[in-house]
Structure 1
Amino acid sequence: MPEGHTLHRLARLHRRRYVGAPVEVSSPQGRFSTEAAVIDGHVMTAAEAFGKHLFHYYGSQGIVHVHLGLYGTFTEYPLPVAEPVGQVRMRLVGRTHWTDLRGPNRCELLTPPQAEALIARLGPDPLRDDADPQEAWERISRSRAPLAGLLMDQSVIAGVGNVYRAEVLYRQRIDPMLPGRSLSRRRWDALWADLRQLMREGVRLGRIDTVEPEHRPEVMGRAPRRDRHGGEVYVYRRTHKPCLVCGTPVAQTKLAGRNLYWCPTCQPTE
């Protein structure tokens, strides 16, 4: 599932290509046809991301909410427009580019109160300037649940997925099973700051890179990582491979149905 940096990159791209001018909106697949007809030809006034959610604003006509889920993808092309390929849920056509959306978990037209209610259910997004880390801290500091699970809870922090949670916990040398209420405020502040920095780099680069310069492949003399997620990481999907810092085999387990990765030596049980 795409993590928050991907949605913020999409929002930035769609602001540049579509905001401020009328947009042709259609649903070649047909599942979004009624909603598309409402906004077709209207001006997109804003495009924003909140966590893993993307919102296209069309003034009084409503707000398109997209959640990509596991299989959703946006594909972007310069004009001219071509015939649809596959199951295109929503197509946008602007002044210079066109975009197709396929396979999203959600693609719906919301009223402003509905969009506000959805956003209100989300925790602070580290990529947004209006994010208040205090909100997340209050939830975490009262919880007995493992920190690794809390970081993936979108009502606690919005936008963090499996890669960022594994990597930030490793970088902060925190046991992923540490109960939230056992985390000190000092360590929480450091974790939040690191998360913001990592995710902003994700927006800038378009991939998740989490290793320090001294642990880059060219410095360590190791082969670059080969993975569809791209980027260099410490523990994510490195099960049984040696930790880049201490050499201990990276461990893996299941937590809330998702794979969790960590180094037992660098992140000892507390």
Structure 2
Amino acid sequence: MPEGHTIHRLARLHHRRYRGQQLAVSSPQGRFVAERLDGQYFTRAEAWGKHLLHHYDSGDMVHIHLGLYGKFSDVKAPMPPPVGQVRLRIEGDDHGGDLRGPTACEMFTPEDLDALVARLGPDPLRKDADPDKAFARIHKSRRPLGAMLMDQKVIAGIGNVYRAEVLFRANVHPMRPGTAVDHRVWQKMWDDTVELMDVGVRRGKIITIRSEDDHGTPGMRGRPRSYVYRRGGEPCRICGNTILGEVMEGRNLFWCPSCQPD
């Protein structure tokens, strides 16, 4: 599933591509009622965590959640005939895009948006995010911090990669209960998350290794450029000890037992 920086990057792309343009909107697959949007002016796109929102001049909104398999193409106009199961097609003056395989593609009301925002934690990529809102939920729970970082009700947008890497960079064990996380440590983690995810939006990829630690890994071509993510059984880039891995609440988790002590 795309992490939050991917959705914010997509929102910025759509905002740049289509803002102020009268769009041709259709649903070649027929599973989305697109007729009311066809010919409307696109006003803006935004992201809340892993949720993408398109706004039109009538006040209509489209909510999109890519889920595990969803993808939104970006092609130059005029677009060729649709191929395959296209849930939503939008076409502006110079560019267009086809949405395939999303978990959600639906019309939204202001009340729907309010309800979505109410159930999400703060999004590190939004300027109005309040990290103390997340800390309040974390600090009153004995649930492992590694699990709560993946809970969109606690923090919106963090996925498996950022979860593992931010914990490592903060030298925090993923099993540490929320009640044992003090505010200073949390603020450091939040600030680091904001910085890393902002890099992800600008660069279009996740970059978590500090330049002074990025010496390469001989014989590991094609392996993730990460501290711990997907590096179970390999030597830690910092201390050389073996990276551990296990499944936490259905998702693979990685950490260094030396750099991230209990």
TM class by smaller structure: over 0.9
Q: Compared with structure 1, are the counterparts of its residues 130 and 224 closer, same or farther at alpha carbon in structure 2 (3 Å cutoff)?
A: farther
Partners of 1:237 and 1:225 lie apart in 2 by 14
Structure 1 CA distance for aligned equivalents of residues 211 and 254 of structure 2: 21
Shift of 1:223: 5.6
Distance 1:167 1:262 in 2: 8
- Aligned partners of 2:217 and 2:155: how far apart in 1? 36
Q: Secondary structure at the match of 2:84?
A: coil
Preserved CA contact (<8 Å) 1:167 1:235: yes
Match in the other structure for 2:176: 178
Alpha-carbon distance in 2 for matches of 1:249, 1:59: 55
Q: Does structure 1 retain, via aligned residues, the 8 Å contact 2:40–2:58?
A: no
Unaligned runs of 5+ in 1: none
What is the match of residue 153 of structure 1?
A: 151
- What is the RMSD of the two structures over their aligned residues, measured on CA atoms? 1.3
Q: Which residue in the other structure is 2:164 paired with?
A: 166
- The equivalent residue for 1:245 is 238
Distance 1:138 1:207 in 2: 30
Q: Deviations over 1:188-234 (max 9, x none)?
A: 01000000000000001100010011222xx346367526xxx6210
Q: Deviations over 1:41-98 (max 9, x none)?
A: 1011110000000000113352100000011011100112111122111001001001
SS in 1 for 2:254: strand
Percent of pairs identical after alignment? 55
- Kindly report which structure 2 residues correspond to 1:69-218, keeping only aligned pairs within 5 A, or say none: 69-216=67-214
Contact 2:168 2:227 in 1 (8 A): yes
Q: How much has 1:237 moved relative to structure 2?
A: 0.7
Q: Which residue of 1 aligns with 2:31?
A: 31
Distance 1:188 1:7, change over 3 A: same
One-letter amino acid of the counterpart of residue 222, structure 1: P
SS at match of 2:235: coil
* AA at the equivalent of 1:12: R
TM-score by length of 1: 0.94
5 Å-filtered alignment, 1:39-78, equals: 39-78=37-76
Letter in 1 for 2:218: R
For the pair 1:222 / 2:232, whether they are aligned, the reply is no
Q: Which residue of 2 aligns with 1:266?
A: 259
- Paired with 2:189 and 2:221, the residues of 1 have a C-alpha distance of 25
- Per the alignment, residue 2 of structure 1 pairs with 2
The answer to whether structure 1 residue 234 and structure 2 residue 234 are counterparts is no
Counterpart amino acid of 2:91? V
